[in-house]
Amino acid sequence: MPNVDDGPRNVVWIVTDQMRAQATGYAGDPNVCTPNLDRLAAEGANFTRAVSGSPLCCPFRGALVTGRYPHNNGVPGFRDPLPEGTPTLAHAFNDAGYRTCYIGKWHLDGDRAGTGAAWDNDQARMIPPERRGGFTDWWAYENRNRPFDCQLHTDSGRVPESMPVLDRADGMERFQVPGYETDGLTTMLLDWLGEQTRDRPEQPFFAVLSVQPPHNPYTAPAEDMARHTPGDVRLRPNVPAIPRITERAQRDLAGYYAAVERVDHNVGRIRAALDELGLTDSTYLVFLSDHGDMHGSHGQWRKTGPWEESIRIPFLVGGPSREHQNSNRPDVPVNHVDIAPTTLGLCGIPVPAEMEGTDYSRLATTPGIRPPTWEGPPDDAYLTMPVPTGHPQSVDRAWRGIVTRDNWKYVSLEGQPWMLFDLDDDPYELVNLAHDPAYHVVRTGLQDRLRQWIERTGDSPES
């Protein structure tokens, strides 16, 4: 395989919505079959400790593109707009001569002046170029939650010929992608990759495919749904045996797993296209999600809480420098702010000084028989929901926490200890040790480490 110094490297992000790390074959979930993701995890770097430091769409996505924590990037809560002119990794790629492309869900335009806050406005909104985070090619939507009615907008004249224009305004056009969202958006990415290879073969690129499934309403094409019967779904041990909880969890998960398998199918399409276009040896494929989904664990639903099913996300890096002969599972606490610096590092692009995250690219690009190791900080990941979300079926309090490399998790509610788990002994978080006097020393030490994160990042001192 080529050496990482042989020339410019491309990157494709595949970003899913609400896909928890536990919901894959390679992670051991017996309910789902994900051969393409399993292969990516086996051949690439599988960052098993990756977390969504702010497990809600907008705060995570703001941190994802800026490399800055939600309380510092202007997107601390749900529907907060990314401030216009905010530097992102797209700007860094543009400055390095890359072509940048964004396809799919954005959810960073928020409730800004002149847009209104109505749900219908989100679904039909067209986002002007100056609010697209620096991405040059754009086929996207703000937020929709209709996987069989996916509507995108782009600049005038850039709607695919086969798709009729629904409306026009301010030099932009809106159109509907046929079929199921994950399939249709993947087809658009493949068409763009073909155009890039044909028309700009010497220009490296950074492309983002952002799909809403497996986010609720937990549905997928019929052939995928047919493989999952609610009564056959095996629930996690931390789902309480209360009929109204278990019945809903099994029903939702049947559609959820069908949608995950459709994501996996399209990962396979992307890998096949990279092979066909001759891009495999020059392109990193990065797979991640913005947060997880509780699905009844601890009697909770959806996201926004600090439990494992909400914060743990898949983070896989496959690419041209994969020469490890053993499984590569870097033992580092990757957080949302680390993904942009790591992506720039994959391409040898300097990380902008304003980014607060860590560049872990060396762990994905160092060849050898033994997986590379990481020495030094950080030894933990900072978890923060800086403002109450007001989001349905969520935690309605601000909270902060940390999860450590040696598998402790500590979370506080505005200075009040809330959760303390030893994830080595208690991976399903069944025993909360936060108020056990026998763990006072452990709690005090973790509280001090949390305080250091709050001070280091300039977060609220009340937490």
Q: 35-43 vs 243-276: helix axis angle to the nearest 10?
A: 60
Within 8 A by CB and 6+ apart from 120, the residues are none
Question: Which helix H or strand E contains 70, and what residues bound it?
Answer: helix 70-73
The 10 Å CB-count burial string (b at 16+, else e) for 158-184 is: ebeeeeeeeeeeeebbbbebeebbbbb
Cα atoms found within 13 Å of the Cα of residue 369, Cβ hemisphere only:
0
- The catalytic position among 57, 58, 101, 150 is 57
Within 8 A by CB and 6+ apart from 167, the residues are 124, 173, 174
Q: Kindly list the strands in the beta sheet with 315-318, ordered across the sheet, starting from the edge strand earlier in the chain.
A: 45-46, 315-318, 283-289, 10-17, 205-214, 99-105, 137-141, 150-155, 172-177, 165-169
Report which DSSP code applies to 418.
E
Pick from 257, 250, 231: nearest CA to 23: 257
From the CA atom positions of the chain, what is the Rg in Å? Answer: 21
Is 57 an annotated catalytic residue?
Answer: yes
The CA distance from 346 to 349, in Å, is: 8
Is 295 an annotated catalytic residue?
Answer: no
- The catalytic position among 58, 91, 101, 107 is 107
Cα atoms found within 13 Å of the Cα of residue 355, Cβ hemisphere only:
28
Assign 34 to helix, strand or coil. Answer: coil
Cα atoms found within 13 Å of the Cα of residue 63, Cβ hemisphere only:
35
The catalytic residues are 57, 107
